[in-house]
Amino acid sequence: MSSNDSSAPRGEEIIAPIRIRTSSVGSQTTAPRHPRRLGIAAALLLIAALTACGFWWIGHLSRHPLETPQAAPQVEATPTSPAPPLPGVQASSPETQQPPPQPLPVAAAPPSSTAAQNTEQAEAVRERLVSAERLASAGNLSGAQSDFQEALRLDPQSQPAREGLRRVKSRMTAEEFSRWMAEGFAALNAGDLANARVRFLKAKALRPEAPEAADALAQAESRLRTARIDALRQRALAAEHREDWAGALAAYEESLGMEPALQFAQQGKERTAALVALERRITFFVNQPGLLDSDAQLENASRLLQDIQAAPPVGSRLRAEADKLGALVQTAKTPVRVMIASDSLTEVSVYHVGRLGRFGARELSLRPGTYTVVGSRDGYRDERRELVVKPGPEPVHVTIICKVKV
């Protein structure tokens, strides 16, 4: 082998020595290589490098086996052939020409259960949203509301569900408001004022800022107040007709509570209040005739009879009570004969009448009532008698004598 052959790269020894045929002349100089032969040499070197790389790759896989799922397709790496060397450029040895390591094939990861659940949830939300929009377009707002709420439950962050629910609720509120207003006006026109007021109140609760609800409610309340005042006036007049002065007074006062400037209620209150006062005063004496035994109460009863005479017509029932009181006053003022017997030794006195002195018998004229007769005598215990004088033509007898010595 020539000196030029001795300088060849060591890598050539891995495959085989390459013999180069020289010229027949036998000169010492090496003939120039033919370009075709150089290409063959480069191809052989490339085959050797690929073979070495294959052995290295098999050894690497034996040391690090890949775990790939059966269903996942395996990605194969396609080695790229190196370009042939240019003419006149010596090819590199297999050791220096090793290709870079190929990337490991990546196996596709199986879809996780969480991803599957998310996909199913998203599909369920989409179906609910589609159903809700279809129901809303058909006018089934309650069904649309239910579907939007279900979609929002499945996905609390769903803005379409939130916005759709808001739109449906707004439409439902508007329809309910219109329904309450229509029913309220129907009741108002029919004269059912209380029912109309209830409907307008419900409409106002849905939309407090709506002026039409406030106006309708004010109209219903005004008519309701007018009707209530008319009813109270009729009730007061009916009570006066029955001579139920207390009931009439209560009706007039209730009317003034609703409208203080009502003239008929002011006049009625003044009239019935005076009659109520008269009735109470008459009843006071009629139910307790014994009060007339007192001079002061008898005087009050006499004044009451004068007030009744000066008052406007009081009606037959109250007039009958007044006549009864007049009879009691007259009886209380009519004296009754009282016969007092003694022993001419006892000093006799009658409370609220005076000292009568000593006598054997004496006659007095006392008006009906209760009196106390007292007898006193020196050296004897005082004697007391209660004298009840009742109205009537028959005289009343009493005896007072001190008999017990002390």
Containing domain of residue 247, as a range?
A: 242-332
| Amino acid code (one letter) for 265 | A
Residues 236 and 249: their CA atoms lie apart, in Å, by: 7
Backbone torsions φ then ψ of 377, nearest 5 degrees: -155, 140
Asked whether residue 207 falls in the same domain as residue 124, the answer is yes
Note whether residue 107 is domain-resident: no
Is 27 within a domain?
yes
Evaluate whether residue 406 is within a structural domain.
no
Number of domains in the chain: 4
* Mean pLDDT per 10-residue segment, the chain (406 residues): 43 44 44 64 80 70 54 43 42 47 49 72 85 84 85 86 86 88 92 91 90 92 91 95 94 94 94 92 91 87 89 83 91 91 95 91 90 94 91 89 92
The CATH number of residue 392's host domain is 2.60.40.10
Out of 332, 356, 390, pick the residue that ends a domain.
332
- The verdict on residue 22 lying in a domain is yes
- Domain co-membership, 219 together with 197: yes
Residues 220 and 251 in one domain: no
Single residue among 332, 360, 375 that ends a domain in this structure: 332
Answer yes or no: is 87 within a domain.
Answer: no
d(CA 203, CA 180): 5
pLDDT of residue 230: 94
| Cβ neighbourhood burial of 119 (10 Å; 0-12, 13-18, 19+) | exposed
Distance CA 216, CA 189 (A): 12
Burial group, residue 63, by CB count within 10 angstroms (0-12, 13-18, 19+): exposed
User: CB-hemisphere CA count at 13 Å for 254?
Assistant: 17
How far is it, in rounded angstroms, from Cα 234 to Cα 232? 5
Looking at the domain assignment, is residue 395 inside a domain? yes
8 A C-beta contact, residue 356 and residue 348: yes
Instruction: Say if residue 282 is in the same domain as residue 250.
Output: yes
CATH of the domain at 145: 1.25.40
pLDDT value of residue 363: 93
Q: Last residue of a domain, which of 290, 313, 332?
A: 332
Amino acid at the residue 17: P
Rg (CA), the chain: 66
Q: Based on the domain organization, do 284 and 342 belong to the same domain?
A: no
Domain-located, residue 139: yes
Residue 269 and residue 221 share a domain: no
What pLDDT does 57 receive? 64
Residue 220 shares a structural domain with residue 252? no
Q: Are residues 356 and 327 in the same domain?
A: no
Q: Are residues 51 and 128 in the same domain?
A: no
- Smallest CA-to-CA distance from 235 within 223, 261, 253 is with 253
In this prediction, residue 13 carries a pLDDT of: 42
Same domain, 160 and 219: yes
Cα angle 25, 26, 32 (rounded to 5 degrees) comes to 85
Do both 326 and 340 map to the same domain?
A: no
User: Is 69 part of a structural domain of the chain?
Assistant: no
For residue 274, count other CB atoms closer than 10 A to its CB.
16
CB-side neighbour CA atoms (13 Å) of 167: 16
User: From CA 297, how far away is CA 302, in angstroms rounded?
Assistant: 9
Do 346 and 326 fall into the same domain?
no
Whether 329 and 301 have beta carbons less than 8 Å apart is answered as yes
Start-to-end CA span in the chain (Å): 191
